[in-house]
Amino acid sequence: MEKLQIILLFMQAFLAFCNICIMLFAFKTFLSKPHDTLESRVAALEQKQKEHDQSLLQGNDRFRSQEKTNEVLIHSTLALIEFEIQYCLIEKKPMTNDLQKAKEDLNRYLATK
C-alpha cells in the first residue's frame, strides 16, 4: 500500500510537471504570435515593394524606348522639312510660311532640349 502511495505521488508530481510544461509552451506560443504576424506582414510588404520596383523599372525601359522613337521621328521630320525647302528653292517655287515656321519651331525646340 505504501508503495502504491509513493507511485501515486510520483505520478502526481510527473503530471504536474507535464502540465507546467504544456502551460509554458502555450504561453510561449501566445507571446510569439504578434511577432509571427508582424513577420508575415513585413514579408508581404517586401514582396509588394519588389513588385513595385520591378514595375517602375519596366516603365523606365518603356520611356527610354519611347524617347528613342521620339528622337528618330524628330530627325526624320527635320529631314523632310529640309528636303521640302530644298525642293522649293531648286524648283524656284514660293516657300509657304507654314513650312518656314515649322522649321523654325522645330529648331527652337531642338535648341531648348
Give mean pLDDT, residues 10-32. 91
Q: Please give the DSSP secondary-structure letter assigned to residue 91.
A: T
User: What is the DSSP track for 67-79?
Assistant: HHHHHHHHHHHHH
Rounded to two decimals, the pTM is 0.44
Question: How far apart are the C-alpha atoms of 58 and 64, rounded to whole Å?
Answer: 10
Q: How confident is the model at residue 12 (pLDDT cuts 50, 70, 90)?
A: very high
What is the structure's pLDDT at 49?
93
Long-range Cβ contact pairs of 37-40 (< 8 A, separation 24 or more): none
pLDDT tens, position by position, 62-106: 777 788 888 888 888 888 888 888 888 888 888 778 878 888 888
Question: How far apart are the C-alpha atoms of 45 and 53, rounded to whole Å?
Answer: 12
